[in-house]
Amino acid sequence: MSFWDVLIQQLVNGLILGSFYALVALGYSMVYGIIKLLNFAHGDIYMVGAFICLTVFGKLTESFDIGIPDWGMVILAIFAAMFIAAVLGYLSQRFAYRPLLEAPRLSLLITAIGVSLVVSNSVMGITNSRPLFFTGGIDNAAGIRLGDIRITYIQIIIVAVSAIFMLMLNLFIGRTITGKAMRAIALDKNTCRLMGINVNKIIALTFMIGSALAAVAGGLACVYYGNVQYTMGFTIGIKAFTAAVIGGIGSIPGAMLGGLLLGLLEAVGTQLLGSEWRDVFTFGILILILIFRPNGLLGRSEIERM
């Protein structure tokens, strides 16, 4: 393969990785935009989604013979992961975050770290720290070739599914009454309460939607990489948070752009400098972006209300 063929192949891989980052970064941006919380437990929701998807898929294929092909089982497993992740997101905001909404932001931040540790260590205990492997009948190598460049069908599906969910979320935030309520609460919660908006309900829905999107990314990653482990949420949590900041935390289009950009930068860094220097290259570029765009690529300056 020529240098350019390898580079294009790496860009395809970067687009896949960026799709995962973008889906997780959306949850960070939604939660921060509405209650100014850096929800560091969000990466662990992604990890839980991957475990649930793998577990449900295994139970469906082992215990039931209902004539559904493996792809159908995967879809059912991802929907189950979305539901359970949404419930977990609701419970975390209801019992850990809601009582602290009027507390200093540092209290919320420390609580988020605590929730992250509770979730990750609970999964560690349940799985005895052992990784689990996806052993379905899906051929991850099948795909199409464009010269020396190979694009698998599962890569196409991951990009398509990610794009569909991101488009649906953008339309939901921009076109529906609930989405407008979310944007209004992000500006002024107290005024929204005076106008009759159920602020707690909207905040809970925000956590549930963000958690469900993280579970979609976790389920797709389970199928794509073929294994899950309880530590997988930490790395993608940090990377997705970085993507949200680069795109402009609080901005839905910014989270999408930041996730894709981060994935592509990692792919380029891997090709140019090697995998051991990938993160050095990536975060060096991102630091430069933040120097010249402190609010992110699509972020806006905020006026702090006293």
Q: Give me the tens of pLDDT residue by residue for the chain, a chain 306 residues long.
A: 677 777 788 888 899 999 999 999 999 999 998 888 889 899 999 999 999 999 998 888 876 666 667 788 889 999 999 999 999 999 999 999 999 988 888 898 899 999 999 999 999 999 998 888 887 767 767 778 877 788 888 889 999 999 999 999 989 998 999 999 999 998 888 899 999 999 999 999 999 999 999 999 999 999 899 889 999 999 899 889 889 888 888 888 889 999 999 998 888 888 888 888 888 887 888 888 888 888 888 876 655 544
> What's the CA gap between 29 and 39, in Å, rounded?
9
Q: Indicate the pTM of the whole model.
A: 0.91
Q: Give me the domain span that covers residue 179.
A: 26-232
Is the Cβ–Cβ distance between 215 and 45 less than 8 Å?
yes
Helix axes 252-273, 153-175, angle to 10 degrees: 150
- Residue 40 is classified by DSSP as T
What does the H/E/C string look like for 129-177?
CCCEECCCCCCCCCEEEECCEEEEHHHHHHHHHHHHHHHHHHHHHHHCH
> Is residue 303 in a domain?
no
Q: Taking the CB of residue 151, how many other CB atoms lie within 10 A of it?
A: 18
> What's the CA gap between 240 and 47, in Å, rounded?
13
> Is residue 32 in a domain?
yes
SS3 state of residue 179? helix
| CA distances from residue 111 to 38, 39, 117 in whole angstroms, order as listed | 10, 9, 10
SS3 state of residue 228? strand
> What's the CA gap between 147 and 192, in Å, rounded?
57
> What's the CA gap between 205 and 287, in Å, rounded?
33
> What's the CA gap between 267 and 279, in Å, rounded?
10
Contacts of 177 (CB under 8 A, 6+ apart): none
> Is residue 87 in a domain?
yes
Q: Taking the CB of residue 86, how many other CB atoms lie within 10 A of it?
A: 23
> Is residue 147 in a domain?
yes
Domain count, the chain: 1
> What's the CA gap between 192 and 272, in Å, rounded?
50
How many CA atoms lie within 13 Å of 57's alpha carbon, on the beta-carbon side? 30
> Is residue 254 in a domain?
no
How many CA atoms lie within 13 Å of 209's alpha carbon, on the beta-carbon side? 23
Amino acid occupying residue 92: S
> Is residue 294 in a domain?
no
Is the Cβ–Cβ distance between 96 and 76 less than 8 Å?
no
State residue 306's pLDDT score.
41
The tokens 């972020």 sit on which residue?
299
> Is residue 284 in a domain?
no
> Is residue 225 in a domain?
yes
